[in-house]
Amino acid sequence: MSSRGTTIAIAVGLAAFLCVCMLALIVLGGLLFVAFSRTAIGPGPIATALPLFSATPAVTQSAA
C-alpha cells in the first residue's frame, strides 16, 4: 500500500472513530438528561431511567 493510501486509511479510520465517540456522548447525554429531568415529578436516580433504554423488556405476566 502506498504512503498516500495509508494516510487516507488512517484519516478514514480516525474519522469513523470520532463519529462513534460523538454518538456515544450524545446517547450518554440523553440518558443523563432523562434521568435528571425526572427529578421534578418523581424519584430521579439514574436507575429509574435505565429501564427506558433496556434491551430486554420487563416481565409483566401475572402468576395465575
Residue at 2 is within a domain: no
Domain count, the chain: 1
Residue at 25 is within a domain: yes
* Tens-digit pLDDT profile for residues 19-39: 999 999 999 999 888 887 765
Residue at 6 is within a domain: no
Cα–Cα dist 35/43, whole Å:
9
Residue at 58 is within a domain: no
Identify the band that residue 58 occupies on the pLDDT scale cut at 50, 70 and 90.
low
Identify the band that residue 45 occupies on the pLDDT scale cut at 50, 70 and 90.
low
Range of the domain at 24: 18-52
Residue at 62 is within a domain: no
- In the numeric block, the cell 450524545 is attached to 26
What H or E segment, with its residue span, contains residue 33? Answer: helix 3-37
Q: Is the distance from CB of 46 to CB of 29 less than 8 angstroms?
A: no
pTM above 0.85, yes or no: no
Across the chain, what does the average pLDDT equal?
A: 76
Find the angle CA(45)-CA(62)-CA(52) to the nearest 5 degrees.
25
